[in-house]
């Protein structure tokens, strides 16, 4: 998967994935199967995707920095469980056999697709207080999932934040972006250390993701997120069926 044409394809895929993440979410549902179609194993594709797409989220996190003032203190409570959860998720992926991962991928893709489809109903609509220990425990579990697979992790984080933070969507997104950065950086280091990341494809996707992150700011103002979400959800359901067929037949 190191031919120039495949690197060009992955560059475009990275840009598209980062743009989808900025507009409606679901970028991993594009980048993950694209790598498999180009010959990567499911484990390599998952690790490479995580290692590449966080760079696209870096621009978004910096862009939301001015909105972090109201929710910044929650980073103190949630950074450590996020980091530990990510590390455990990455470790679980490293001990998962290729065959087993192929069998669980359809369920993971279907879960991410359902979360993306339900995103409008999972958005926080007001403060509903839950105990801090429950918040920390739930954030830990979300980050275990994020370190293991990661697609739609941000949707889960945003839904959780709506249960204990009194803030608007931009302020919650700011906190979510920085916590997701922690998860993805730690997972990336673990995946590189374990030799699961394909460096060439990662760089191609990352370069495209950085470009897509820049262009997504304009796209988000011109494209209706709901329409993009419908297309990605439809694709996600098709992919879950395709992965199930590959794993079981």
Residues 218-243 have pLDDT tens digits of 555 566 667 767 877 887 888 888 88
Assess whether pLDDT exceeds 60 at residue 179.
Answer: yes
pLDDT at 191: 93
Overall average pLDDT of the 97-122 stretch: 84
Assess whether pLDDT exceeds 60 at residue 66.
Answer: yes
Residues 12-36 have pLDDT tens digits of 998 888 777 766 567 788 889 999 9
Assess whether pLDDT exceeds 60 at residue 56.
Answer: yes
Average pLDDT, the chain: 82
Q: Which two tokens stand for residue 85?
A: 């959860």
Q: pLDDT band at residue 123, thresholds of 50, 70 and 90?
A: low
Catalogue the long-range contacts made by 218-225 (C-beta closer than 8 Å, 24 or more residues apart).
219/19, 219/22, 219/23, 220/22, 220/23, 223/23, 225/23, 225/24
Give every CB contact of residue 66 below 8 A, 6+ residues apart in sequence.
Answer: none
Residues 203-222 have pLDDT tens digits of 999 998 887 766 665 555 56
Overall average pLDDT of the 149-164 stretch: 82
Distance CA 249, CA 247 (A): 6
pLDDT at 201: 93
CA 62 to chain centre: 17
- Do residues 7 and 70 lie in contact, with contact meaning Cβ atoms separated by under 8 Å? no
Burial class (CB in 10 A: 0-12, 13-18, 19+), 169: middle
């Amino acid at each position: 998967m190191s031919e120039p044409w495949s690197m060009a394809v992955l560059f475009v895929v990275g840009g598209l994935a980062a743009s989808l993440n900025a507009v409606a979410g679901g970028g991993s549902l594009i980048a993950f199967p694209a790598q498999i179609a180009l010959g990567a194993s499911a484990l390599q594709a998952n690790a490479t995707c995580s290692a590449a797409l966080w760079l696209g989220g870096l621009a978004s996190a910096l862009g939301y920095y001015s909105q972090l003032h109201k929710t910044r203190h929650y980073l103190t409570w949630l950074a450590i469980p996020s980091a530990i959860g990510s590390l455990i998720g990455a470790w679980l992926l490293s001990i998962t056999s290729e065959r087993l991962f192929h069998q669980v991928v359809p369920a993971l893709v279907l879960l991410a697709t359902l979360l993306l489809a339900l995103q409008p109903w999972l958005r926080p609509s007001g403060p509903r207080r839950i105990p801090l220990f429950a918040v920390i425990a739930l954030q830990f579990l979300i980050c275990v999932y994020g370190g293991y697979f990661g697609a739609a992790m941000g949707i889960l984080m945003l839904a959780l934040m709506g249960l204990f933070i009194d803030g608007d969507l931009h302020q919650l997104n700011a906190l979510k972006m920085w916590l997701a950065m922690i998860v993805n950086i730690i997972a990336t280091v673990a995946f590189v250390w374990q030799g699961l990341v394909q460096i060439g494809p990662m760089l191609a996707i990352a370069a495209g993701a950085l470009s897509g992150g820049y262009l997504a700011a304009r796209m988000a103002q011109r494209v209706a997120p709901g329409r993009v979400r419908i297309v990605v959800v439809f694709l996600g359901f098709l992919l879950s069926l395709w992965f199930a067929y590959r794993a079981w037949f």
